[in-house]
Amino acid sequence: MKKEIIEKVLKTSGFSSLNPMQKSAVEKGLLDGKNLVVASPTASGKTLLCELTAFNLFSKKAGKMVYMAPLVALVSEKYQTFKGKYSREGVKVAMSVGDLDSSSPWLSDYDWILTSNEKCDSLMRHNVNWVNEIGLIVVDEIHMLQDPSRGPTLEVTLTRLRETIPHAQILALSATIQNVKELGEWLEAETVISDYRPVELHEGIYIDSKIQFFGRDSYKLNPNLAPESGILENTIKMKKQALYFVATRRYTESLAETLGKFNQNFLERNEKKELIKLSDEVKGVLETPTRQCRKLAECIKNGVAFHHAGLLYKQKKLIEDNFKNGFLRCIIATPTLAYGVNLPAFRVIIRDLKRYYSGFGAKFIPVLEYKQFAGRCGRPDYDEWGESILIAKSEDEAQELTDRYILGEPEEIRSKLAFDPVLRMHTLALIASGFVKTEESLMKFFEKTFFAYQYGDVSEINQKLESILEMLVKFKFIIREDGKVIPTRIGKRVSELYIDPFTAHHFIECLGRAMRVKPDTFSYLHMIANTLEMKPFLSVANKDFEEINNIISTKKFLQKAPQDWDLEFDEFLKSVKSTLMFQGWIDEQTEDQILVKFRVAPGELWTRLNNADWLLYASQEIALLLGYKKLLNDLRKTRVRMKYGVKEELIPLVRLEQIGRIRARRLYNTGLKTISDLKKIPLSSLERIIGTKVAAIIKKQLGEKVELIKEEKQRTLSGFKGK
Ligand SMILES: Nc1ncnc2c1ncn2[C@@H]1O[C@H](COP(=O)(O)OP(=O)(O)OP(=O)(O)O)[C@@H](O)[C@H]1O
Ligand SMILES: [Mg+2]
């Protein structure tokens, strides 16, 4: 049976045999239901282990797989792969990453459920009814456990899953980590530690116009060029591609501009033609391109792209696809690209090894991260080996970097569970969903975590738990009675809404005040902007003080503004600045104006709007529960305005499909202000205002018979759902 499963999976994948790492996983019991922690290099084929186990289970009808990964991009990549390969075998594959306030009942029909760590946590909070059907839990990139902001969610979710379904098999996957054994002991798992790589990795250092490697020849580069360009020239001569990692978004842009100008000289005519096409496509993602879009388009014309969280999803996808098919010579990226998505290049240049940590100054990045970057190099099927390159300015520095990184061992993973904000959120979640019913069982739960395993005792957590419980009682989210912990109605709802209890309490206070004063849209925008979920706030420069102080003294706030000398005053100023950005958005400022005035790039704006939408939804739900009916209408309106970035007068128009802020404004300004205006105007006149396709789409929605031609374009940030 095992043999058949392996053969089937290999055949479906088009591979001839398992690689050594995969063989060793099978020997350790991968297909016998054993828990496994696998630590092996990037691109060593860990995903196939997941497929083998899940398909084994599917064939035996032995349960569902839940696959968790830290990035939506990664979940979506696996979804495409799994669906493409296994649908025809009858496996029903689902992806669930969105709505955190839903138990997504439709998922119960599926065999393989792929989710982000946060969505999985949220599903557990909603007590999904199919949890007992899970036979396999896959945790991809388990080293995420040590991430201070997101690790604890993964840790609690995994602990909870294990407690709920102790018989389910666990498969935890990671790149090279130091304390695999410890993780394995915690998860009662066998460990597979392998250094197998499909393509050899050569780790080198640039110094004095040379790239040096251990035990092989160095490259001599053009001494008249800066290191980055020198390396690029050499890469071009080899007809290969390169991926540069730098510390900040701004660096990605400036280096892409520099390297683009350099690369331009090497482009052939037909290449130029293709790149111009691509450049136009990237620029046209928004109807009115921002200067960031234009800058990116310029770089792409030269065969080089920058890649960071400020870009729109479609732009990132275009860049990734066109790098894979070879049109783009290089990508300059921030570290996020190093995690997950499969985008190998012959060369990876890791330029900035120090990062600024607030409160600590510039510090070397962890070895784990370096290995993750370096591991991106070498394309299986194309390259015999891949090269990672560090840049040193002196012999001393070269020695230091060699010792620290090339010869260095990745650090141990440490649990970050003792952080307050996450602890209080999870404590409420455990109580609210009825998973723990007494203080004792709460403490017992935390004894099962990796934190407890690693540190041997939970006294630090227990102390914090006491004050968290007190706080939750004070907020009226729980009741404590003779050692029992009972959630209140509002406590339950807050936990389901997936917001910090602190934020929920802040909303309750603000909404209470809103019932007494007459708030305006700004008041609500500030309410949601001044939350932990919205951090980091926008920074306030000297030139902003006047405007912000003015706002503080004239606008209506739903919370008491702190005094200048209060500790929270600085943060308050920043929260006002963030509010101004939202206000700008709903006053129909363009993405470019927002970029210039607030230094918020479209991709980041999109993320912030997404968060805002969630918080507005949550506040609406809380207002509903508290019986504050008279606030609901304004909250709803604010939410629609934020979603589309429009003034109030455009609300009826943006409710139509294919009508975003720009088209709605165009219609409105030509006198078509309401649905009935649109009904009255003849199709031919509407066509002249808005174009044939869109006019037809509008008329169809209004119940008229017209022929439809498909139109697909992202007009605004909000008109786009494909995160
Ligand atoms: N047995 C095999 N034979 C040939 N190719 C394989 C085999 N197993 C996996 N591959 C290929 O190797 C590539 C990398 O695999 P995968 O994405 O699973 O890497 P990974 O180990 O998960 O790396 P990362 O740590 O970056 O997530 C994929 O393109 C995959 O198709
Ligand atoms: Mg992987």
Pocket of ligand 1 (CB under 6 A): 15, 18-19, 22, 42-48, 175, 198, 342, 380
Ligand 1 pocket mutation, candidates 23, 44, 201, 243, criterion most atoms within 8 A of CB = 44
pLDDT of residue 72: 83
Cα of 187 to ligand 1 centre, how many Å? 24
Residue nearest atom 26 in ligand 1 by C-alpha distance: 42
Cα of 185 to ligand 1 centre, how many Å? 26
Residue 654 predicted with pLDDT over 60: yes
pLDDT above 70 covers a percentage of the chain that reads 96
pLDDT of residue 666: 94
Cα of 137 to ligand 1 centre, how many Å? 19
Cα of 76 to ligand 2 centre, how many Å? 12
Cα of 198 to ligand 1 centre, how many Å? 8
- Alpha-carbon torsion, ordered 19, 20, 23, 28, to 10 deg: -150
Ligand 1 pocket mutation, candidates 26, 48, 80, 194, criterion most atoms within 8 A of CB = 48
State how far the Cα of 398 lies from the Cα of 142, in Å rounded to an integer.
Answer: 31
Model confidence over 29-85: pLDDT tens digits? 999 999 999 999 888 899 999 999 999 999 999 999 999 998 888 898 899 999 999
State how far the Cα of 94 lies from the Cα of 99, in Å rounded to an integer.
Answer: 14
Peptide bond before 536: cis, by omega within 30 degrees of 0?
yes
pLDDT of residue 358: 57
pLDDT of residue 716: 46
* Phi, psi for 256 (deg, rounded to 5): -65, -40
Residue 244 predicted with pLDDT over 90: yes
267: left (phi over 0), alpha (psi -120 to 50) or beta: beta
Measured in whole angstroms, how far is the alpha carbon of residue 61 from the centre of its chain?
Answer: 33
State how far the Cα of 553 lies from the Cα of 75, in Å rounded to an integer.
Answer: 46
Cα of 44 to ligand 2 centre, how many Å? 8
Ligand positioned closest to the Cα atom of 81: 1
Which residues make Cβ contacts (< 8 Å) with residue 255, sequence separation at least 6? 228, 244, 246, 306, 332, 351
Atom number in ligand 1 closest to CA 41:
25
In 177-289, which ranges are E strands? 190-193, 200-207, 210-213, 216-220, 242-245
Ligand positioned closest to the Cα atom of 375: 1
Ligand 1 pocket mutation, candidates 6, 17, 24, 46, criterion most atoms within 8 A of CB = 46
pLDDT of residue 357: 65
Residue nearest atom 25 in ligand 1 by C-alpha distance: 42
Mean pLDDT score, 202-230: 94
Residue 361 predicted with pLDDT over 70: no
Which residues make Cβ contacts (< 8 Å) with residue 221, sequence separation at least 6? 206, 209, 210, 211, 230, 231, 233, 234
pLDDT of residue 22: 97
Which of the two residues, 568 and 580, has the higher pLDDT score?
Answer: 580
Mean pLDDT score, 116-142: 91
Q: Are 615 and 531 in contact (CB under 8 A)?
A: yes
State how far the Cα of 326 lies from the Cα of 384, in Å rounded to an integer.
Answer: 17
Ligand positioned closest to the Cα atom of 49: 1
How do 347-350 and 385-391 pair as beta strands?
parallel
Mean pLDDT score, 339-367: 80
Q: Are 477 and 488 in contact (CB under 8 A)?
A: yes
Residue nearest atom 4 in ligand 1 by C-alpha distance: 15
Residue nearest atom 1 in ligand 1 by C-alpha distance: 18
State how far the Cα of 41 lies from the Cα of 60, in Å rounded to an integer.
Answer: 31
DSSP 143: G
How do 304-307 and 354-357 pair as beta strands?
unpaired
CB neighbours of residue 47 within 10 Å: 19
Strand partners for 159: none
Q: Are 292 and 254 in contact (CB under 8 A)?
A: no
Which of 107-111, 176-180, 196-200, 466-470 has the lowest average pLDDT? 176-180
pLDDT of residue 104: 76
Residue 722 predicted with pLDDT over 60: no
591: left (phi over 0), alpha (psi -120 to 50) or beta: alpha
Q: How far is CA 339 from CA 42, 141, 713, in A?
A: 9, 9, 29
Model confidence over 372-417: pLDDT tens digits? 899 889 888 788 999 999 999 999 999 999 999 999 988 888 998 8
Cα of 343 to ligand 2 centre, how many Å? 12
Q: How far is CA 156 from CA 103, 427, 453, 489, 552, in A?
A: 18, 10, 13, 23, 40
Residue nearest atom 24 in ligand 1 by C-alpha distance: 42
pLDDT of residue 712: 46
What is the DSSP secondary-structure string of 394-428? SHHHHHHHIIIIISPPPPPP---TT-HHHHHHHHH
State how far the Cα of 656 lies from the Cα of 634, in Å rounded to an integer.
Answer: 20
For 376-401, letters b (16+ CB in 10 Å) and e give bbbbeeebeebbbbbbbeeeeebeeb
Model confidence over 442-483: pLDDT tens digits? 999 999 999 999 988 788 888 889 999 999 999 999 999 999
Which of 131-145, 244-258, 556-570, 637-651 has the lowest average pLDDT? 556-570
Atom number in ligand 1 closest to CA 22:
1
Which of 91-95, 463-467, 484-488 has the lowest average pLDDT? 463-467
Residue 567 predicted with pLDDT over 60: yes
State how far the Cα of 267 lies from the Cα of 261, in Å rounded to an integer.
Answer: 11
Q: HEC states along 579-641?
A: HHHHHHHHCCCCHHHHHHHHCCCHHHHHHHHHHHHHHHHHHHHHHHHCCCHHHHHHHHHHHHH
State how far the Cα of 245 lies from the Cα of 213, in Å rounded to an integer.
Answer: 19
pTM attached to this predicted model: 0.82
Atom number in ligand 1 closest to CA 375:
26
Confidence of residue 359 (pLDDT cuts 50, 70, 90): low
Tokens of 140: 């991809």
State how far the Cα of 429 lies from the Cα of 231, in Å rounded to an integer.
Answer: 51
Q: Are 703 and 686 in contact (CB under 8 A)?
A: no
Mean pLDDT score, 225-254: 94
pLDDT of residue 707: 65
Mean pLDDT score, 89-109: 84
Mean pLDDT score, 142-166: 91
Residue nearest atom 11 in ligand 1 by C-alpha distance: 45
Strands of 347-350's sheet in order across: 216-220, 210-213, 200-207, 385-391, 347-350, 242-245, 330-333, 304-307
Residue 723 predicted with pLDDT over 70: no
Residue nearest atom 12 in ligand 1 by C-alpha distance: 45
Average pLDDT, the chain: 91
Cα of 87 to ligand 2 centre, how many Å? 21
Using DSSP, state whether 95 is helix, strand or coil.
strand
Half-sphere exposure of residue 582: CA atoms within 13 angstroms, side-chain side = 33
pLDDT above 90 covers a percentage of the chain that reads 70
pLDDT of residue 708: 57
Which residues make Cβ contacts (< 8 Å) with residue 231, sequence separation at least 6? 206, 211, 221, 242, 347, 349, 389
Which of 259-263, 455-459, 522-526, 714-718 has the lowest average pLDDT? 714-718
Amino acid, single-letter form, for residue 512: G
Residue nearest atom 6 in ligand 1 by C-alpha distance: 45
Cα of 197 to ligand 1 centre, how many Å? 9
Residue nearest atom 19 in ligand 1 by C-alpha distance: 43
Residue 312 predicted with pLDDT over 90: no
Cα of 339 to ligand 2 centre, how many Å? 9
Cα of 19 to ligand 2 centre, how many Å? 15
Which of the two residues, 645 and 215, has the higher pLDDT score?
Answer: 645
Measured in whole angstroms, how far is the alpha carbon of residue 568 from the centre of its chain?
Answer: 29
Model confidence over 426-442: pLDDT tens digits? 999 999 999 999 999 99
